[in-house]
Amino acid sequence: MLLNNLIKKLIRTKNWYCRFLGYLRCPLLFFFFIPIKGAFGSHEAYVTTIVQDGSSRLLLEQRKRLLENLGGYFKRNDFPHRLSESVFNDEGWGNLSIRYTLDSDLQERAERILKSYRPDIGVVVMMDALSGDILAMASYQREVGEPATTVLKKLSGPVNWVLDSILPAASLFKIVTASAAIEKAGFSERDIVTFSGGNYTLYRRNLLAPSSQMGMRRATLRDAFALSYNTPFGRLAIYNLQPEDLLEYSKKFGFNSKIVCELPFDMGETIIPLEKGFALAEISSGFNRITKISPIHAAMIAASIANDGKMILPNLVKDIFDSEGNRIYSRDTITLGEVVGFDAAQKLKSLMQATIERGTSRKAFRRIYHWFKLSGIEVGGKTGSITAEAPLGKVDWFVGFGLKNDTSQRIAIAAVTLHKDRWHVKPSDLAREMLSFYFYGNAHPRRYLIRKLVTRQ
Q: Mean pLDDT across the stretch 276-305?
A: 96
3-state secondary structure of 230: coil
CA distances from 182 to 343, 353, 418 (A): 9, 16, 32
**pLDDT exceeds 90 at position 7:** no
Would the pLDDT of 379 be above 50?
yes
Q: Which of 11-25, 167-181, 217-231 shows the lowest mean pLDDT across its residues?
A: 11-25
Question: Cα–chain-centroid distance for residue 116?
Answer: 24
Across all residues in the chain, what is the average pLDDT? 82
Q: pLDDT at position 22, please?
A: 44
Note whether 12 and 73 are same-domain residues: no
DSSP state of 170: G
**Rounded CA separation 126/412 (Å):** 6
Residue-wise pLDDT for 154-174, tens only, equals 334 457 899 999 999 999 999
pLDDT of residue 211: 67
Res. 145: pLDDT tops 60: no
3-state secondary structure of 12: helix
pLDDT of residue 445: 75
Same domain, 119 and 196: yes
So what's the pLDDT on residue 57?
63
Q: Who wins on pLDDT, 155 or 75?
A: 75
pLDDT at 441: 86
Shared-domain flag, residues 124 and 8: no
Which residues neighbour 34 within 8 Å (Cβ) at sequence distance 6 or greater? 21
Residue (of 431, 442, 433, 376) closest to 409 by Cα position:
376
Domain check: are 277 and 287 in the same one? yes
Q: How far apart are CA 37 and CA 160, in angstroms?
A: 35
Provide mean pLDDT across the span 383-398: 92
> Domain of 34?
1-40
| Element (DSSP H or E) covering residue 62 | helix 57-75
In the chain, how many H helices and how many E strands? 17, 19
Residue 14 burial (CB < 10 Å; 0-12/13-18/19+)? exposed
- Rounded distance between C-alpha atoms, residue 82 and residue 97, angstroms: 5
From 58-67, 79-88, 295-304, 318-327, the region with the lowest mean pLDDT:
79-88
What would the pLDDT profile of 406-428 be if each residue is shown by its tens digit?
Answer: 777 899 999 999 998 888 899 99
pLDDT exceeds cutoff 60 at 9: no
d(CA 283, CA 46): 16
- Kindly report the number of other CB atoms within 10 A of residue 146's CB atom: 11
CA distances from 197 to 192, 233, 281, 305, 391 (A): 16, 13, 14, 31, 30
| pLDDT of 39 over the 60 cut | no
Is residue 13 located within the same domain as residue 56? no
The answer to whether 46 and 69 are in contact (CB under 8 A) is no
Phi, psi of 404 (to 5 degrees): -100, 125
Regarding whether 79 and 2 lie in a shared domain, the answer is: no
Q: How many domains does the chain have?
A: 2
d(CA 291, CA 270): 4
* Residue 406 sits in the same domain as residue 364: yes
195 bridge partner residues: 217
Any idea which of 24-38, 78-92, 293-307 has the lowest mean pLDDT? 24-38
SS3 (DSSP) at 335: strand
Does 143 share its domain with 13?
Answer: no
DSSP code per residue over 411-426: EEEEEEEEESSS-S--
More confident residue, 90 or 77: 77
Banded model confidence at residue 229, pLDDT cuts 50, 70, 90: very high
Confidence class for position 87, pLDDT limits 50, 70, 90: low
310-329: average pLDDT: 90
pLDDT at 228 over 80: yes
Please indicate, yes or no, whether residues 6 and 78 belong to a single structural domain of this protein: no
Average pLDDT over residues 362-388: 92
Q: Is the pLDDT of residue 1 over 70?
A: no
Are 141 and 311 a contacting pair, CB within 8 Å?
no
* Cβ neighbour number for residue 375 with a 10 Å cutoff: 16
Q: Do 251 and 385 fall into the same domain?
A: yes
Q: Are residues 3 and 58 in the same domain?
A: no
Backbone angles phi, psi at 441, to 5 degrees: 70, -145
Is the domain of 288 the same as that of 334? yes
Confidence of residue 242 (pLDDT cuts 50, 70, 90): very high
Taking the alpha carbons at both ends of the chain, their separation in whole angstroms is: 60
- Judge contact between 403 and 410, C-beta under 8 A: yes
The domain that contains 384 carries what CATH number? 3.40.710.10
